[in-house]
Amino acid sequence: MRVTTKGQVTIPRDIREALGISPETEIDFIEDNGRFYIVKTEEPRMTGKFRKLRGIASAKMSTDEIMSLTRES
């Protein structure tokens, strides 16, 4: 297996099937005594500057009201 210039590898199909990994599955890498393991995670790991804001937005406007703000008058 070769790592691309972007640090990506392809997980072989038989391993994906054995682990139940499908597109959009969240995984993590665990280190134990110099060995690394791939494990599925239960919830997506939030990273980045907007992580603390995730899930706090409220929609006090209807979809039509929001759409009218994006359209030219």
Q: Is 4 part of any domain?
A: no
Q: If pLDDT is split at 50, 70 and 90, which confidence band does 32 have?
A: very high
Q: Is 1 part of any domain?
A: no
Here the tokens at position 5 are: 């210039």
Q: Is 8 part of any domain?
A: no
Domain range for 51 is 13-70
**Which pLDDT value is given to residue 59?**
72
Distances (CA, A) of 36 to 1, 7, 29, 33: 15, 16, 6, 8
Q: Is 31 part of any domain?
A: yes
Determine the average pLDDT of the residues in 46-70. Answer: 74
Determine the average pLDDT of the residues in 16-28. Answer: 88
pLDDT above 70: percentage of residues in the chain:
81
Q: Could you tell me if 19 and 40 are in contact, meaning their C-beta atoms sit under 8 angstroms apart? A: yes
Here the tokens at position 47 are: 């990273």
- pLDDT of 44 higher than 70: no
Q: Is 5 part of any domain?
A: no
Number of domains in the chain: 1
